[in-house]
Every structure is written in C-alpha cells, then in structure tokens.
C-alpha cells in the first residue's frame, strides 16, 4: 500500500492541539511550532479543530484564526483536515466552504447533535450530509464517535458513500470498531475511499486487520504510530504487532488517563511549546498523572521529547 499526500489519503493523520499561552490566549507561534514538530515526526497529514483540539472552547473568530494560521504555515507540505462540525446544516456547509477555500484537503464532520437529547433521525442525518456534500468539492470524513450519541448504522454510512458525491472517508471510533469497519467496507465497496481508525489508536491493530487505511490519533507521537502502520502496510504484520505492543502502554495511558491533554504535556516537556494549558473549565492533569505519562513516554524515546531541546 502506497502512502501518499494525494487521494486516497492514507497513513497517520493525528489531531493537532490548539495551543494557548499561560493566560489562555491563542499562541499562534506555539501553534506553528506544534505543526512543524508533527510534520517532522512523520505525520502524513494533520487534522485541526477537532474535539482533541478543544474546538468546543473556541469562538468562531478563533476557529478561523487557527485554521488560516495552520493552513498558511503548512503551505501544502502535507494534507490538512479541518473539522467543521455544527448542528446546523447551513452553518456546517458554510464552515466547510471556508475551509476548502483556505486550502483544506478534507473536512471532518460529526452528525448533528446538541447536548444530551437534541438529535435527528437517519433521514435528517442523510440530508445534513447531502447539504454539505453539495456545497463543497473536497471529501468529507464522517466522524462516527460516541461523543455525538448518534447511532450511525453501517447501512446508512454505506448508502451515503454511494449516493453523496463527497462522503468518502469514515473515522470509526465506536465500540467494536473493527467489526463496523469490516461491515462498512463490505457494504460500501469502492465508495469507501478511506475507512479509518480513531480513538488515539487504542484499537489500531484490530482496525488495521479489518481494513483500516488511515489512523487519526493524538498528536504527541506520530513517529510511534508510524512504527506500527508502516510495517503493516509493507506486509510485515509481525513487526507491526510487536511495535503495537511496545507503544500500547502509552496509547492506553493517553486514552484512559489523560485524554486531550496528553499531547500538550508531551510537547511542553520536549520544548515544542511553552504552555500545555487547557481552557477552563478543563483542568490541568494531576501532577502524578502527568509524571506517569512522561515516565512511560521516556521508555519509548519519542521525537516529541527531544524535538525542541
């Protein structure tokens, strides 16, 4: 399998955090350093403004500022996916058009939801993605994530892939993701341009075996995820399994103990950024949790811990 910056996009596309200074303001210089590190560490592409980017604490103006700063700084070096999720079809379409005009390679969108109970049914979900697909000329990645609380059946996803021109990629991060990926690939056939893994790569090996061609992980150690994906795609599965076993303790610690803060903590520890702050009401990691993350990471010598030193 060839890894390429051209479609079909494949490989490691981590989520970039949004960098804030110690006062909680956008740190655009730190953001650019973050992006440079992620490219140097082997990212085939990058996703911005996702949940792990704290998109939910940004104003609309800040979203635009971050998007333009990143896309201008990347300047075509790698593909950039911009998350444009919104409950409103019209707002999501407008965000997606803006991202395309600014140079995004793809947009990632969760199904419409708001809070614990505001959901729409499958017919409205289909129409939501149709509106966005009709508004742009770049591919859409549907983010099938528990946070949306919206069941997306394999039949619905496959139907949208076949009938909606730009619905082509699927980030599957629900329980039993591998089974869903298999079903999606079987039902969607060639319309499924990118069946992808998510959730910080906690299920990466099973998802690769199921046919995943990309992984959207946290942004702290793309070089580690490359050590798994590269041999797998080269036909050396045993080597991939061994690499997965090496990196799994760190993947697990990020997924189960730290969440979105893991990436920033590692970047600050390695001198990539000056502040690993998150926006209130999010709270800093407990010092013991932070120390545990760094301890595990040091045993693996990821690029992040030496990039800025």
CA separation for the pair 107, 81 (Å, rounded):
5
From the candidates 171, 180, 187, 274, give the one annotated as an active-site residue: 171
CA separation for the pair 182, 252 (Å, rounded):
24
Known catalytic membership, residue 274: no
Give the burial string for 2-23 (b: 16+ CB within 10 Å, else e): ebeeeeebbbbbbbbbbbbeee
**One-letter-per-residue 3-state SS of the chain:** CCCCCCCCCCEECCECCCCECCCCCECHHHHHHHHHHHHHCCCCCEEECCHHHCHHHCCHHHHHHHHHHHHHHHCCCCCEEEECCCCCHHHHHHHHHHHHHHCCCEEEECCCEECCCEECCHHHHHHHHHHHHHHCCCCEEEEECHHHCCCCCHHHHHHHHHHCCCEEEEEECCCCHHHHHHHHHHHHHHHCCEEEECHHHCCHHHHHHHCCCEECCCCCCHHHHHHHHHHHHCCCHHHHHHHHHHHHHHHHHHHHHHCCHHHHHHHHHCCCCCCCCCCCCCCCCCHHHHHHHHHHHHCCCCHHHCCCC
Q: Which residues form the catalytic set?
A: 171
């Amino acid at each position: 399998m060839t890894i390429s910056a051209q479609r079909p996009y494949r490989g490691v596309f981590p989520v970039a955090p949004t960098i804030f200074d110690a006062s909680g303001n956008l740190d655009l210089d730190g953001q650019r350093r973050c992006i440079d590190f992620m490219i140097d560490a082997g990212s085939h592409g990058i996703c911005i403004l996702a949940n792990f980017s704290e998109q939910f604490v940004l104003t609309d103006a800040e979203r635009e500022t971050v998007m333009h700063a990143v896309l201008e700084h990347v300047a075509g070096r790698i593909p950039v996916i911009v998350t444009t999720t919104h409950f409103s079809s019209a707002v999501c379409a407008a965000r997606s058009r803006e991202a395309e005009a600014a140079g995004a390679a793809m947009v990632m969108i969760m199904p419409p939801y708001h809070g614990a109970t505001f959901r729409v049914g499958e017919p409205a979900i289909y129409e939501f993605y149709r509106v966005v697909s009709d508004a742009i000329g770049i591919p859409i990645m549907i983010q099938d994530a528990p946070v949306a609380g919206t069941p997306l059946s394999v039949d619905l996803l496959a139907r949208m892939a076949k009938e909606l021109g730009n619905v082509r990629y699927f980030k599957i991060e629900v329980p039993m993701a591998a089974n869903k990926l298999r079903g999606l690939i079987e039902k969607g056939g060639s319309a499924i341009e990118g069946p992808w893994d998510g959730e910080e790569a906690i299920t990466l090996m099973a998802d690769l075996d199921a046919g995943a061609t990309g992984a959207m992980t946290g942004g702290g150690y793309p070089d580690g995820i490359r050590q798994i994906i590269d041999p797998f795609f080269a036909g050396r599965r045993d080597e991939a399994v061994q690499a997965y076993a090496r990196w799994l303790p760190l993947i697990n610690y990020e997924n189960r103990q730290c969440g979105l803060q893991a990436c920033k903590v590692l970047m600050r520890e390695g001198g990539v950024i000056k502040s690993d702050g998150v926006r209130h009401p999010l709270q800093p990691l407990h010092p013991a949790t932070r120390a545990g993350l760094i301890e595990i990471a040091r045993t693996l010598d990821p690029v992040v811990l030496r990039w800025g030193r």
